[in-house]
Structure 1
Amino acid sequence: MECQLEEKKVSKVGTKETSLLIDSDVHPYIVSLNELVPYMDESLQRRMRLGRFQQSHNVKNNYYREFKIPSSHYENIGPLQGMRLDAVPPSGNLPGSDQEYLRSDLLDRTNTTFAILNAGHGTMSAHHNVDLAAEYNSAYNDWLYHEWIIKDKRFKMTILVTPLDPNLAIKEIERVGKREGCVGINLQNINIPLGKRHFYPIYEIAEKYNLPIVLHPDAEGSGEYSPSQAVGPASTYIEWHSSLSLVAQRQIMSLVFEGVFERFPKLKVVFIEYGFSWLPSVMWRMDKNWKGLREEVPWVKKLPSEYVRNNIRLGTQPSEEPFHPKDLIEIIRMAKAEDMLLYSSDYPHWDGDPIDKVFKHFPQDMKNKIFYQNAKDTFHL
């Protein structure tokens, strides 16, 4: 599906002229899980206590609890628990829940060509009831497709699947993966490194369907199936958030050294919201160690950095802020990462990157790639 839009400068954001824009990380929110009821069978509604099976909260039956989606234990104490105050729609509902307001506040304001929608309210990847998780993911995928994707061609979506059961993940990809507007697989982190054979069946169908794997922070640290931060749990949100890049670094090493990209050379894996300034040192260390230890991994036939540049993509948010802003450009050049970065607003979260400030010093050819071309190629738009 080729984008038919003429590739030229078309808009202004702030005071600087910018190129066509693809936003790789926009979060649609649901106000209540009951919005998913039309896409659930009665059994799932009953198990999740939704619809007519939802218990009221009064003194008589206050021992009933609403179903809770696994989430991080760390609370963002920023505005509205991580939401932008100016993203609250006129209705007063949760930011990201009002499609019309999101269109005007984000897509129209920044003249966004396409917005990749990644689940904003949490996923079921960390839930050990795999069958329940798979059914919930199917309901959510149908809701997002019918309530958002088919209503505006600028919206694209990543598919929620269940990483704990590759067979159920494949079943869901086969069900919805060829729908127009489905452009990626939202896999999520579990306690199995991405390079393990556990994931090979998912990678095989992802490559066959031309869908990149997308990882986004969500339920890390929430329970049995989510990894902790490197040496143990964090004490605060700021510690947890600042250490997220360790997850991406560890997963990239697993993917490369386990030989995933030799087996699946067309597979792209996109790390959203893990930063990117750490990339040069990771690539240098991997290359150095491979030169001395490659007998241990004979299936890794090229420099690890070559696999990283060819198969790994990174969202720009949250971009690091060096003392000298132009140093960020040098870091990108050090890693030869101009073709690897995808602009991500993280809307409607308050810690997103203003496009007219973070990238102010970037040369125009680099901005063209980061704002548009790299995402267009990665998601086959």
Structure 2
Amino acid sequence: MTHSNLTIEAFVKLGNFLRTFCDLIEQNTLSDHLNDKWISAFKSEAERAQHYNGWFTEENCMHAFKEWGNALTKKNLEEWLSKYDLSANSEKVVALILAGNIPLVGFHDLLCVLITGNKALVKLSSNDQKLIPLLIDYLIDVEPTLKESVTFTKEKLDYYDAVIATGSNNTARYFEYYFGKKPNIIRKNRNSVAVLRGNETEEELIALGEDIFRYFGLGCRSVSKIYIPKDYNIDTFYKAMFKHSDIINHNKYANNYDYNKAVYLMSEFKILDNGFLILKEEESFGSPIASLFFEYYTDEDSLKNKLYTNKDNLQCIVASGFTEDEIVFGNTQKPKLNDYADGIDTIKFLLNTSKN
């Protein structure tokens, strides 16, 4: 079996494990399996994650585990990789500077580097220091040859052939200064929007709440703005959001809600408020935590042109029957393996980059 096949098989085993782990949680039978070292390790990290990062609730960590379990099947991996010639890769060291805004957000880059037969030099975000190393430890346990392929470092990055760095618009300028001479992917801020047409079912709107509130809206795939028809009844939207009202019981979210509401009121901005989500009419995309921007539209074609013009600022468009690359309500945080951040094909980049 080739190294590439061994690596793919290791990720298949990780997917199998994650699905089993999440099934045991959902069936409330996990306690019967705590003598399994990996079951015990994943349970401990999911429970402790919030101590290191207050946004990493056990529920959100479990969601990340579940979605990676769903993605990492043999069928999904083979379909994803079938359009690439992995044998064309020249082994190189790829420096990864990972984000930490949501659990396991950097794992896709790590998957891409390893699955193409390259080595990863990883600088973890200070906000996600535990979960990714846990998954790598599992992969090394089932496929020991991967031990030579991943190095975690807190030192200055040296001796690498390419860079994939994820950050804000501000850090992107820093990344471009330091890494611009190497082949690179440098990711900046992106946001996601939803387009409501006024004919959505209650189920679709409740599902949209998942896109808004999952990970507290901290992901680039989180919906931070909605576009609504001029005559839209906003009560219809707010009624569907009520299913997610428990989010206000999370201390950090509640603090942000209180702070942003106070700022808006002191600035005499006109806002709508239901006790856990503030709606503010605003042209920009990136709303603060516990806030959601909205904008009225009168013509769908004009809105399509507007969103196309801003495509470099957008990660996802959630809608039903609006545009061909839309995402179904409730699915932004269930990305497929070929849903590349910023629309840049990471595998293609890695295969087309030669060792320096």
What TM-score do you get using the length of structure 2 for normalisation? 0.31
Question: Which protein has the bigger helix share?
Answer: 2
Question: Which protein has the bigger strand share?
Answer: 2
Question: Greater relative contact order: 1 or 2 (C-alpha under 8 angstroms, separation 6 or more)?
Answer: 1
